[in-house]
């Protein structure tokens, strides 16, 4: 047994040495700086997690913002707090910038709010051996720490000077303020002035390997309103009165199910109200319907969700759905409208190139390859607002499980791994 242990140790040392040989002398110093800070990085994570920053806890979000603001300023960044209008009931965002002219202009993305509001019963910080449970540990304060610690390692080694890097830590990613054009205006402005966006949401796993995100599907919705002739139910299906609103809506939704199906496209009818009279309140996501069994239903409304991977796929789906709606049953009319809250992040060649660079940095550091995650397995994220303007890569954050739940946790060692990968990638992308 002792011989096997010694052989395993030798094999590990040889593998680590081979990996280190792939790194330049400067990059090896960067890795050493990251490892030296690992205990302090965990302390920074704990400090941030112990501050409740549920999206609606405006002061809590601001307090976490002040914590990270001090970290950025210590690294030579100029910072500001981007306020939101009071009626939005959102805390705002932390923006940090460092002027430079060499290499790619990078935009780093994170968020400091969580889904755990002030009255959450979930423990703020609950260490469990090699893992820790807590409010927002992986979504996404772990990623925020990785971002800051990667920059700190570059600063310590003396290679941050000259790099053009901006960062924005949003205070409402979990429930974006409305109007969204206002709440994401600062991010869009930063994207327009950048070459690449790197987002530090938690790293995923795909087929047993760690995986980053080169594509995210849009998030939006549709409203289907159907009108019909009212009358005695004994006269339904006649030329005089037609089919009623509910049968027409059933025809439309079933045609969607049968005809608007393709990979990476999903749509769902979330609420349906039909009868002689319907009322829907968007603010409460609820409504009422009145009708009688002996009366042909006069109106119906459907509120649904739609997600697609590319703008072209979205346009094609909307066109087909509109065509289906327009083919009305006798005695009925229908209208469908669409909205897009998060634009799609399409799987472009530029995004794949970023993944290859990130995976190479990981392999050169002896941390294994990074593959692309299935876009259908991830929800919407802030990086999608930068996608129309710059190539992007998401998932540079920590490894954990059960985000948004009472059991949300983080693998502590993933902070160091993620920081090493990010630091090497940022270093390489900001070289002249």
Which helix (H) or strand (E) covers residue 300, if one does? strand 299-307
**What's the confidence (pLDDT) of residue 232?**
97
Q: What three-state secondary structure class fits 370?
A: coil
Tokens 């392999």 locate to 363
Alpha helices in 310-348 (DSSP H): 311-326
Structure tokens at 168: 């924005």
**What's the confidence (pLDDT) of residue 9?**
38
Beta strands in 184-265 (DSSP E): 196-199, 204-206, 209-212, 219-228
CA distances for 426 relative to 61, 72, 172, 185, 375, angstroms:
27, 16, 26, 25, 24
CA 132 to chain centre: 22
**What's the confidence (pLDDT) of residue 379?**
78
**What's the confidence (pLDDT) of residue 207?**
84
**What's the confidence (pLDDT) of residue 332?**
98
Q: Between vectors from CA 327 to CA 326 and to CA 331, what angle results, nearest 5°?
A: 100
Tokens 């990074």 locate to 370
Which helix (H) or strand (E) covers residue 26, if one does? helix 25-49
**What's the confidence (pLDDT) of residue 205?**
85
**What's the confidence (pLDDT) of residue 368?**
96
Structure tokens at 159: 């290679």
Q: pTM for the whole thing?
A: 0.90
Residues with Cβ within 8 Å of 212's Cβ and at least 6 positions away in sequence, in order, are 203, 204, 355, 358, 359, 370, 371, 372, 373, 393, 394, 395, 396
Phi/psi region, residue 33 (left: phi>0; alpha: psi -120 to 50; beta: rest), is alpha
Q: Which of 221, 187, 180, 191 lies closest to 90, judged by CA?
A: 180
Residues with Cβ within 8 Å of 38's Cβ and at least 6 positions away in sequence, in order, are 415, 416
Domains located in the chain, CATH noted? 13-216+345-429 (3.40.630.10), 219-342 (3.30.70.360)
pLDDT-flagged residues of the chain (< 50):
1-19
Q: In the predicted model, what is the mean pLDDT of the chain?
A: 94
Q: At what angle do helices 25-49 and 142-157 cross, to 10 degrees?
A: 140
């Amino acid at each position: 047994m002792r011989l096997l242990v010694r052989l395993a140790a030798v094999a590990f040392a040889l593998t680590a040495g081979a990996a280190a040989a792939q790194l330049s002398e400067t990059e090896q110093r960067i890795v050493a700086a990251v490892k030296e800070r690992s205990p302090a990085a965990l302390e920074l994570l704990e400090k941030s997690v112990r501050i409740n920053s549920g999206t609606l806890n405006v002061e809590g979000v601001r307090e976490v913002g002040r914590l990270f603001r001090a970290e950025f300023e210590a690294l030579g960044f100029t910072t500001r707090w981007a306020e939101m209008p009071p009626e939005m009931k959102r805390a705002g965002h932390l923006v940090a910038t460092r002027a430079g002219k060499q290499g790619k202009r990078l935009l780093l993305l994170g968020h400091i709010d969580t889904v755990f509001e002030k009255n959450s019963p979930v423990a703020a910080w609950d260490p469990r051996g090699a893992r820790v449970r807590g409010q927002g540990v992986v979504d996404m304060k772990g990623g925020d720490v990785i971002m800051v610690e990667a920059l700190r390692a570059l600063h310590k080694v003396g290679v941050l000077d000259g790099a053009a890097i901006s960062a924005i830590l949003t205070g409402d990613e979990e429930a974006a303020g409305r109007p969204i054009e206002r709440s994401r205006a600062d991010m869009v402005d930063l994207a327009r002035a950048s070459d690449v966006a790197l987002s530090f949401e938690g790293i995923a796993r795909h087929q047993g390997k760690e995986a980053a995100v080169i594509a995210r599907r849009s998030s939006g919705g549709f409203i289907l309103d159907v009108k019909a002739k009212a009358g005695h139910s004994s006269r339904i299906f006649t030329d005089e009165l037609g089919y009623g609103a509910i049968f027409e809506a059933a025809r439309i939704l079933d045609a969607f199910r049968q005809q608007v199906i393709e990979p990476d496209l999903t749509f769902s009818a979330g609420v349906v109200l039909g009868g002689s009279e319907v009322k829907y309140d968007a603010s409460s996501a609820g409504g009422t319907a009145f009708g009688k069994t002996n009366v042909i239903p006069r109106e119906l409304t459907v509120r649904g969700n739609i997600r697609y991977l590319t703008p072209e796929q979205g346009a094609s789906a909307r066109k087909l759905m509109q065509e289906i709606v327009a083919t009305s049953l006798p005695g009925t009319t229908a209208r469908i409208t669409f909205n897009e809250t998060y634009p799609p992040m399409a799987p472009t060649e530029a995004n794949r190139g970023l993944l290859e660079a990130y995976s190479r940095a990981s392999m050169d550091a002896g941390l294994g390859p990074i593959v692309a995650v299935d876009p259908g397995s991830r929800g919407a994220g802030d990086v999608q607002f930068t996608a129309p303007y710059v190539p992007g890569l998401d998932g540079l954050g920590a490894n954990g499980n059960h985000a948004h739940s009472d059991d949300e946790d983080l693998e502590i060692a993933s902070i160091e791994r993620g920081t090493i990968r990010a630091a090497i990638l940022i270093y390489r992308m900001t070289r002249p």
